[in-house]
Amino acid sequence: MAPFNTNQVKYIQAVAGRQQHTTLRAINQNGIIKSNEFGDLYYHPQTFDTTNPLLLGQFFLHEYARAWDSRGVHNNDILESADFTNLIGTHVGFGKDMGNLRALDVPCVGETGTDVDRADDAWIASTVRATPDGFLKSLNLKLRLTLPSNIPVAHPTYADIKLILDGAAGSGVVSGVTATEYQHYWQADFSLSTPTIEAIKGALDVYARSPPMHTPHYEFRLIMFRNRLPTYRGDSGTSNLDALRNGVSLLNPGYDLFMGQTGRPRGPLGYRTSTKLDKDMDPTGAPAPYYSGKRWDNGWVNGTIPKSAGDAGHGNTAGAETFPAGEADFTHRDLMTMPLNKNDYVVMRDVRFFLGQQQGKSHFEDVFDFDFNDPINTADTDLCSSDTLNNKNYRWQCIIIGTSNGRDPVHLNYEIRGTTHCQSG
């Protein structure tokens, strides 16, 4: 028998007088993310070039998944209990934590000890569910990103304006200002002579008017994605066998969210080897995909790769390479254009946008609509504890990348507003 469609479900609910209680839960998150301020050490990317300021932040729709890393026991073709021990979260290496929205936390009145058989809108608040059974209808999320009005701007280096200071650029400014005097100028050293100060001011004025324009060029990329398969929760309510039976994925976007130049997936922690391109790594000629790069173990340590297929992770060779041969660390320019691994991840949004005076824009807005309409049956606040949701993945992750395309810092204010809609009764 075919399942009921949406209209049939609504008709049955109306006739039975059930699922008529509407629950609306608000989500609010505010803050600021700044370039090269990633938070705790395990948030720091290991394969991104941060020589120039790089903005990198992330938030999760509900919670992050647990995944494998570049440990030897995760890089073999034998499943062991250690494969499920001390799994890291998929937030590692993706920059500043902007907050876990916990969008699917919707309390139920049954948790307070009230025995409720049927919803009564006269006394059950719209912020809670009336009964454990019901429907997760939808989630609407609005994101607003704004440039602060007081972003600091990096001043040009002495080498940048030396030719102007020496008069070689045709500016007519001849000064003989030294690098030390230039440094003291930015330190507000009032002992500098008036001619020196005026010479530096004049050179900076010429520099500001020289093509190309030296104002910061703020460029950003927003990516909203999730694993194609259900992911591993790794809590006391989920057994390893159930997870495997349900076909969960333990892939880690820290190693394979992007696609590198040589056809291998890459991420902020390392890369994933290819069964077709890396046959030389295994004597059998049929290597499993390995994670190579850094992993977190109370500090950053090198990954390990089994010496041969069938090795249960107890004899390993080095797996410290963070990118494939011939490639390099991702620069901020790479991160703006590098394609995503859409074979393993569902990408809801991948958008680039530009902010700043030259763009005539100071803010960016986007809306994410999730039309779930999925049955739930749990008295827990966390809707993901319902076994009716086991076969879908609700662990969406959003990352924001930003650059000034130079040495200027990048700051970005964010405001997240959302509404989770449930029906019960």
Span 341-370, average pLDDT = 89
pLDDT at 246: 62
Q: How many other CB atoms are found less than 10 A from the CB of residue 9?
A: 15
Look at 92-96, 265-269, 318-322 and tell me which has the smallest mean pLDDT: 318-322
Given pLDDT bands bounded at 50, 70 and 90, which one contains residue 9? low
pLDDT(240) > 50: yes
Does 398 or 77 have the greater pLDDT score? 398
Alpha-carbon gap, residue 402 to 383, rounded angstroms: 33
pLDDT in tens, 345-355: 999 999 999 98
Does 4 or 182 have the greater pLDDT score? 182
**Residue 359, beta-bridge partner list:** none
Alpha-carbon gap, residue 221 to 48, rounded angstroms: 15
pLDDT at 38: 94
Alpha-carbon gap, residue 355 to 357, rounded angstroms: 7
Alpha-carbon gap, residue 71 to 113, rounded angstroms: 45
Span 32-43, average pLDDT = 93
Q: 330-335: which pairs have CB atoms within 8 A and are 24 or more residues apart?
A: 330/47, 330/48, 330/49, 330/258, 330/266, 331/48, 331/49, 332/48, 332/49, 332/52, 332/54, 332/401, 332/403, 332/405, 333/403, 333/405, 335/48, 335/54, 335/221, 335/401, 335/403
Highest mean pLDDT among 37-51, 199-213, 267-281: 37-51
Percent of the chain with pLDDT over 90: 43
The pTM score is 0.80
Span 321-334, average pLDDT = 90
pLDDT at 364: 92
Alpha-carbon gap, residue 80 to 99, rounded angstroms: 33
Given pLDDT bands bounded at 50, 70 and 90, which one contains residue 41? very high
pLDDT in tens, 147-172: 887 666 666 777 777 777 776 545 45
pLDDT at 81: 77
